[in-house]
């Protein structure tokens, strides 16, 4: 159990909060050495996260586009697969954003982190931005910029735009055997390995950030309890909406397109869903998903071997839903006013972040950082999510895998209905 990351994060979070409360009782005015040490740990951890953001977004997007490009070359199979994945991801994000319009229990309490926002922090849009022309002008100036400048200045929109252009150009101009394709694949492998190293020190970062949060919040009576209540409300909403998407929306799509009974469908794919739940990894679940698709759903091996690996890379319904709700939740905690244009920005960034996300535990945090930076949420807020993220990750990974399996079933049935099939 000691080697379990979820357990380590829980212990680190508990230690951070408890020690901070004790520290405030013993030394209400603080001790410079302790404060500076915590600040060093927190700053180093956040620097590690920032170090990975730009290259991860850039290479993962290009890698995702290369995968999609290779798929589209197969015309019917590729077109319907990509179309299905984009549709279900869009539905998941829309479901999340509509839900938080009507259900947002955390707003019954004050935005307790509002005083911690740095006005000079990097953001795509300014708070309250609601002029379409002004926003388009700002977005154009940020999007169409030098790729090196975008990477150095952590210009998220510029990184995304350059990655999209370069990825599409590579698919159209280069052959699959090009060394540049191999370079992108290898770069993604290297970045994922570095991400694994950063995840190993995650408990230390969580400890430092939550210690700092608790010290700052404990100065105001009742805010610590308020924060935990808001966090619990957020977690329950994410779980509820993820289950609605997984138990109602996706089975409904399967029934409408293939006339497969929802109960029968869930029974046939129960095994890979359980593996996904226990491993929190779409990639690790692939062998079990392939067997379930072929043996239980009757999907042809050629379709299963094509649709499911692609889905493990670009079809992240549960992850996209989580990122959308989390962005709205964190924006409120930090007192950031979200206009309708900024909500649309959250939708688009969550869509983009789901393409090429690594199929490994907690990897969604890289995409979450992109969404946060786009609307000016401080990067240290990632610690708030990481406290509760691992339990949520198990559920949303199961929904991700469910979406992949239903996609393979829909594509297979569609191709079998075509003349000459």
* Residue 17 confidence (pLDDT): 80
Q: Give dist(CA 206, CA 38) in Å, integer.
A: 11
pLDDT > 90 fraction of the chain, expressed in percent and rounded:
18
User: Mean pLDDT throughout 341-354?
Assistant: 81
* Residue 333 confidence (pLDDT): 87
Q: Is the pLDDT of residue 104 over 60?
A: yes
Q: What is the mean pLDDT of the chain?
A: 80
Q: What is the pLDDT of residues 58-77, one digit of tens each?
A: 887 788 777 666 555 555 66
Q: Is the pLDDT of residue 344 over 70?
A: yes
Tell me if 166 sits within 8 A of 150, measured CB to CB.
no
Q: Is the pLDDT of residue 119 over 60?
A: no
Which of 120-124, 223-227, 303-307, 353-357: highest mean pLDDT? 303-307
* Residue 358 confidence (pLDDT): 58
Q: Is the pLDDT of residue 110 over 80?
A: no
Q: What is the pLDDT of residues 292-310, one digit of tens each?
A: 998 999 998 888 888 888 7
Tell me if 240 sits within 8 A of 393, measured CB to CB.
no
Q: Is the pLDDT of residue 88 over 90?
A: yes
* Residue 407 confidence (pLDDT): 93
Per-residue pLDDT band for 250 (boundaries 50, 70, 90) equals very high
* Residue 253 confidence (pLDDT): 95
Q: What is the pLDDT of residues 160-185, one digit of tens each?
A: 788 888 888 888 888 878 898 889 88
Q: Is the pLDDT of residue 263 over 90?
A: yes
Q: Is the pLDDT of residue 389 over 80?
A: no
Q: 139 versus 109: which is more confidently predicted?
A: 109
* Residue 238 confidence (pLDDT): 92
Q: Give dist(CA 315, CA 335) in Å, integer.
A: 32
Q: Is the pLDDT of residue 405 over 90?
A: yes
* Residue 5 confidence (pLDDT): 67
Tell me if 232 sits within 8 A of 389, measured CB to CB.
no
b/e burial code for range 270-295 (CB count within 10 A of at least 16 → b):
ebbbebbbebbbbebbbebbbebbbe
* Residue 68 confidence (pLDDT): 62
Predicted model pTM? 0.75
> Per CATH, is 5-416 categorized as 1.10.20?
no
Domain ranges of the chain: 5-416
Q: Is the pLDDT of residue 284 over 80?
A: no
* Residue 400 confidence (pLDDT): 92
């Amino acid at each position: 159990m000691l080697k379990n990351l979820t357990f380590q994060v829980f212990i680190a979070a508990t230690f951070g909060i408890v020690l901070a409360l004790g520290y405030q009782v013993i030394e209400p005015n603080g001790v410079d050495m302790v404060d500076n040490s915590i600040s060093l740990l927190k700053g180093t951890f956040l620097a590690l996260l920032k170090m990975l953001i730009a290259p991860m977004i850039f290479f993962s997007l290009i890698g995702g586009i290369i995968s999609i490009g290779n798929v589209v070359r197969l015309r019917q199979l590729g077109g319907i697969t990509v179309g299905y994945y984009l549709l279900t991801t869009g539905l998941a994000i829309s479901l999340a954003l509509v839900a938080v319009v009507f259900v947002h229990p955390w707003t019954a309490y004050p935005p307790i982190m509002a005083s911690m926002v740095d006005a000079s922090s990097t953001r795509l849009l300014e708070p309250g931005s609601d002029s379409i022309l002004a926003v388009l002008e700002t977005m154009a100036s940020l999007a169409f910029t030098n790729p090196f400048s975008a990477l150095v200045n952590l210009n998220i929109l510029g990184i995304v735009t350059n990655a999209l252009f370069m990825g599409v150009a590579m698919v159209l101009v280069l052959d699959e055997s090009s060394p540049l394709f191999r370079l992108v694949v290898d770069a993604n492998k290297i970045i994922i390995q570095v991400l694994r190293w950063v995840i190993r020190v995650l408990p230390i970062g969580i400890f430092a950030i939550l210690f700092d949060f608790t010290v700052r919040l404990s100065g105001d009576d009742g805010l610590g309890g308020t924060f935990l209540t808001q966090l619990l409300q957020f977690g329950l909403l994410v779980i509820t909406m993820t289950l609605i998407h997984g138990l109602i929306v996706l089975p409904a799509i399967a029934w409408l397109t293939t006339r497969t009974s929802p109960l029968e469908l869930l029974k046939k794919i129960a095994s890979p869903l359980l593996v996904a739940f226990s491993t929190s990894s779409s990639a690790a679940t692939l062998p079990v998903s392939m067997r379930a698709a072929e043996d239980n759903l009757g999907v042809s091996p050629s379709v299963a071997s094509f649709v499911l690996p692609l889905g493990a890379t670009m079809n992240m319904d549960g992850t996209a839903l989580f990122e959308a709700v989390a962005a709205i939740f964190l924006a409120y905690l930090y007192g950031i006013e979200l206009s309708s244009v900024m909500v649309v920005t959250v939708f688009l960034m969550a869509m983009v972040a789901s393409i090429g996300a690594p199929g490994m535990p907690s990897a969604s945090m890289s995409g979450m950082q992109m969404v946060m930076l786009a609307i000016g949420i401080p990067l240290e807020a990632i610690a708030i999510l990481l406290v509760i993220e691992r339990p949520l990750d198990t559920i949303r990974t199961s929904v991700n895998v469910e979406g992949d399996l239903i996609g393979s079933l829909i594509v297979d049935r569609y191709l079998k209905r075509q003349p000459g099939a």
